[in-house]
Amino acid sequence: MLSLLLDPLTLGFMQRALLAATLVGLVTAVTGVYVVLRGLGFLGDAVSHAAFPGVVAAFLLGAQVTLGALVAALGTAALIGWVSQRGGIRSDTAIGVIFAGMFALGVLLLGTVRGYTGDLMSFLFGNVLAVAPSDLAIIAALGVLVLLVMFAVRKELVFASFDPLGARAAGLPVRALDYLLLALLAVTITVSIQVVGIILVMAMLLTPAATARQLADRLSSLVALAVAISVGSALVGLYLSYYTNWASGATIVLLQTALFLLALTFGPRRSLRA
């Protein structure tokens, strides 16, 4: 029994995969709590898809692919924030237009790539087993950065999310905090793409937080529970995929989805919206 757990740990790629999955599970859970509470799900989906042209462009230019994803995700988040704060356009319309435009750019760029595009496909669907030591270093550095910033401004983020007018009257730069949250979301998505891919990253953000929301009504317990669900599913999913040969990202997400459905069915908070 114990060897089932320990054997994979002797393999370098499994060690890196488990570390990467744990880190990503941790960061997505914390960011995801704000995504769920603020109703930013569609925006997160847009930002993750918008990372795609960044990935392809970096590949074409021979640059660091994570860097390309980060630049595209941050740029898109800023663009969406700017368009929706200008007014006159509903924010979901602004998000939809920019999201589709960015993804189209990615598809167009992909068409210009000659030869093998398998590496690029791994960004669409994620391949945590292929995480290189340098990737792991980037995931760790950016992940820790996101967590530190979140922790440092948690009092202000909570106030601005709960009561934006009151927060502004209390002297908080609510608009800047909104942009900061978008930026943290973009960085979180970038580091997660390695593990679960562009298409499934939304599940990492939304599902653990939405599950925890069914069970907790305090922010601290909500974050703790979301982290436990997220990291737990990531580790269990990774072992499962190791032994079954299932796709690792999909296995992790399906575990989270199962937990969500369980919490929804048996949880006590069915009357309150997530």
**Residues engaged in binding other proteins (CB under 8 A):** 37, 87, 152-153, 155-156, 158-159, 161-172, 213, 216-219, 222, 272-273
Nearer to other proteins, 87 or 115 (CB): 87
Q: In the chain, what is the greatest distance between 2 CA atoms, to the nearest angstrom? A: 61
Give the span between the Cα atoms of 105 and 107, in whole angstroms. 5
Nearer to other proteins, 99 or 159 (CB): 159
Nearer to other proteins, 114 or 155 (CB): 155
132 close to 140: Cβ distance less than 8 angstroms: no
56 close to 103: Cβ distance less than 8 angstroms: no
Query: Hey, what amino acid is at 121?
Result: M
Of 274, 210, 239, residue with least CA distance to 21? 239
Nearer to other proteins, 114 or 273 (CB): 273
Report phi then psi at 166, rounded to 5: -60, -40
Query: Hey, what amino acid is at 77?
Result: A
Min CB(169)–other proteins separation in Å = 4
If you count them, how many residues does the chain have? Answer: 274
Min CB(201)–other proteins separation in Å = 24
Min CB(151)–other proteins separation in Å = 10
Nearer to other proteins, 101 or 156 (CB): 156
Min CB(248)–other proteins separation in Å = 32
Min CB(209)–other proteins separation in Å = 11
